[in-house]
Amino acid sequence: MINKLWFYMIAIAVAFAATGRRLEILTEEIFSSLGAAVELGIGLLGGMMLWCGVLKVAEKSGLVDKISDFIRPLMKLLFRGIPPKSAAMGAMIMNITSNMLGLGNAATPMGLKAMQELQQLNPRKDTATNAMCLFLVVNAAPIQILPATVLSLRASVGSANPGIIILPAVASSFAAVSAGVITCKLLEKTCGGRA
């Protein structure tokens, strides 16, 4: 998908520039935009060192387990069909906790593991279960406690207040997850498939 999108962005740009006789300006832009990317990357390095360093401390201190304990009751409530002590539940909780801490590298493998475990509980192997749909929707709007990349990016362009976005972002995620869960619960009866 992204391959097509990126191609068309460039193709449309060249087509528009050609019809508007702006190809020279476009040439300047091509080189200056990549230069800007390098500048931005250098600015980003400092913030990423800071936040990834702090998050590593959090990871090693067992904060992941603490947050897991905190969300476990909620997960039991949401995923009633899944046994609370099953591998599926464990992987889902780890995935969501990793997402909350912005540990993308840990989140994806755990998410894929959770899908495999959920598939074992699935009677119809080509059709998604209610739990799978719900899990993906919860994944669609992770509540991030520390959005490290965005904070670093804001700091690197000289924001006076990089952290102003944290609480509103958590609130927006929460609104998104709530809407998604409600939609899931409403649609699971009408949208084919069982369990």
Residues numbered 163-192 forming contacts with another protein, rule: CB under 8 A: 163-180, 183-184, 187-188, 190-192
Contact between 195 and another protein by CB under 8 A: the answer reads no
Amino acid (1-letter code) at residue 113: K
Residues between 81 and 110 with contacts to another protein, criterion CB under 8 A: 99, 108
Listed in sequence order, the residues at least 6 apart from 13 whose beta carbon sits closer than 8 Å to its beta carbon are: 26
Round to whole Å and give the CA distance between 167 and 169: 5
Nearer to another protein, 73 or 172 (CB): 172
Q: In 3-state terms, what secondary structure has residue 72?
A: helix
Contact between 123 and another protein by CB under 8 A: the answer reads no
Contact between 54 and another protein by CB under 8 A: the answer reads yes
Residue (of 137, 138, 144, 182) closest to 166 by Cα position? 144
* Minimum CB–partner distance for residue 190 and another protein (Å): 8
Nearer to another protein, 82 or 177 (CB): 177
